[in-house]
Structure 1
Amino acid sequence: MTRPTAPAIPDELDRLLRRMRLPYLRKAAPDVLATARAQRWDPAEVLRVLINEEVIGRDSATRRMRRHSASFPTGKTLASWRPEESSIPEPTQHALSTLEWIGRHENLVLAGPSGTGKSHFVEGLSQAAIEKDLRVVWFTLESLTQTIGKAKVDGSVARTVARICRCDLIVVDDIGMLPAGQDAAEAFYRIIDAAYERRSVAVTSNIHPSGFDSIMPKTLATATVDRLLHHAHLVLTKGDSHRLAEALAGKGVVPLS
């Protein structure tokens, strides 16, 4: 059975709601007002429900915008994470999933072989952070280097670093996959130094942070790791690559017909 359409709100009220920029309240108003008339709601309840619709709509739009701005690589969430298949102890997974460490401005470093779920887990945590109305930004070391490099050209490095550090969680993914030169090491150091004890940084790497001086200049690596690990949860993953295991099991592609 088709639900009857609620009568449209008066044109004058529609114009006022548009002028006040209350799109979610305006969209909900016909159904809410029709229900209120039928059930004889108290006027205060009508106002509460309508304002709540606007708040819910704005919060949802803000989260969508933050997910887009974060530049996540895949869109994976904790819903697709399989905790029983990870080498990370489940109590550790649970503790990190509370996101309380972000509120304490602590860092997270996941280090281990490629394909052991580091990026998936951190992206899931990042998505959960946005659901809790936190701001997140995602970089690879290469994209971070490019961002800081562009800022050098127009002399806006300080502003760029400050803008990045307005986020509650800053992710730098896949350190150690390629050698990092002076520019990459400097960009990484600038963010770690600016965020130190003010924001949380999550790093994934296929090498232990103690080995960062093997891929970047030693002086910068030492100063960066010193600040990164001072208030950090260091989690080491192990095992074979999940991606390789799926490929060998024939789960990496849809079978040809």
Structure 2
Amino acid sequence: MSIDIPAPARLAAPTGAAAAVSGAAYEEAIELTRRLKLPHIRRAMAEVIPTAKAQRWDPAETVKVLLAEEAAGRATANLRTRRARAAFPTGKTFHIWNEQASSIPAPTQSALRTLEWVARRENLCVVGPSGTGKSHFTEALGQAAVDAGMTVAWFTIEDLGGLVRRHRVDDSVAKAFARLTRTDLVIVDDIGLLPVSADAAEGFYRLVDAAYERRSLAVSSNLHPSGFDEIMPKTLATATVDRLLHHAHVVVTNGDSHRLTEATGGHGVVPLS
């Protein structure tokens, strides 16, 4: 539910507002906001209180404005924290995505952008040659999920190998992947370019197994998952793909590399003067 209220940044505070906001009651209120961890209310009080006095707001209106400032401030801070924890590699979003240039059918793009598949704990596999927008599309979906209030984590498959090695020391690998799958959406990027190390293969299997029917995974790969036995042990690949594809949308990209097209068209760099 949206609340239509005047934000302090738009309030017309009376002249001498700073002087008007003082006194024992105000200082006690400031101290209470510290004790109750209400930093956004504390910052807004210097503008809201004199404005409320000057415009003779109902006390309930003043309280509503201050609480709305705290809610908005917390939402912004939480969004910033979720985005930082996702560890996206480039910051690419749908704002710079060219829907028409993608080989993914427009209805499929629209359906995936609703993120309903994440709510249903389904998976997504985006498969195709290098440069056809796989990483951009999956990252943009992750960014949209963060904007929608979800938690997201971004990995390469070798990052998963590093996670296995770090936690093997104290035999906490299973716990590490259980914690990881508390995340709403886990993205694994760029599978298939190189053979996968034994630790990475183990990590990928553990992630898929832990997330199976519990959380959503999005995978981008140069190889179709049916060919993962080319880059990891066949037995492990079979078990991984079986779980990955059971509840998955498989999207195939094709065409020439967007990067190569830009480069050959002279749009890959700013021309030298």
Normalization by structure 2: what TM-score?
0.90
1:70 to 83, 86, 100: 86
What is residue 242 of structure 1 aligned with on the other side?
Answer: 258
Q: Which amino acid is the alignment partner of residue 132 of structure 2?
A: T
- Paired residues in the alignment total 256
1:56 paired with 2:84, answer no
SS at match of 2:76: helix
What is residue 197 of structure 1 aligned with on the other side?
Answer: 213
2-structure distance, mates of 1:83, 1:5: 52
> 1:32-87, CA deviations, whole angstroms, 9 ceiling, x for partnerless residues?
22222222222112111111111111111111111111110001111111101100
Preserved contact between residue 108 and residue 232 of structure 1 (Cα < 8 Å): yes
What is residue 94 of structure 1 aligned with on the other side?
Answer: 110
1:226 paired with 2:226, answer no
Preserved contact between residue 30 and residue 42 of structure 2 (Cα < 8 Å): yes
**Change beyond 3 A, Cα 1:168–1:5:** farther
Preserved contact between residue 181 and residue 217 of structure 1 (Cα < 8 Å): no
> 1:97-147, CA deviations, whole angstroms, 9 ceiling, x for partnerless residues?
000110000000000000100110111110111111100000000111111
SS at match of 2:242: helix
Preserved contact between residue 63 and residue 133 of structure 1 (Cα < 8 Å): yes
What is residue 103 of structure 1 aligned with on the other side?
Answer: 119
Matches within 5 A, 1:2-41: 6-7=17-18, 8=21, 10-41=26-57
Q: Which amino acid is the alignment partner of residue 34 of structure 1?
A: P
SS at match of 1:84: coil
What is residue 60 of structure 2 aligned with on the other side?
Answer: 44
What is residue 143 of structure 2 aligned with on the other side?
Answer: 127
How far off is 1:250 after superposition? 1.6
Q: Which amino acid is the alignment partner of residue 184 of structure 2?
A: D
SS at match of 2:100: helix
Q: Which amino acid is the alignment partner of residue 118 of structure 1?
A: K
Preserved contact between residue 131 and residue 258 of structure 2 (Cα < 8 Å): yes
Preserved contact between residue 156 and residue 188 of structure 2 (Cα < 8 Å): yes
What is residue 174 of structure 1 aligned with on the other side?
Answer: 190
Q: Which amino acid is the alignment partner of residue 209 of structure 1?
A: P
Identity of counterpart residues, as a percentage?
A: 60
SS at match of 2:266: coil
1:143 to 143, 150, 159: 159
SS at match of 2:125: strand
Q: Which amino acid is the alignment partner of residue 84 of structure 1?
A: Q
| Structure 1: segments with no counterpart, 5+ residues | none
What is residue 9 of structure 2 aligned with on the other side?
Answer: none
SS at match of 2:154: strand
> 1:168-194, CA deviations, whole angstroms, 9 ceiling, x for partnerless residues?
000000000110132221110000000
4+ aligned runs moved over 4 Å, structure 1: 2-5
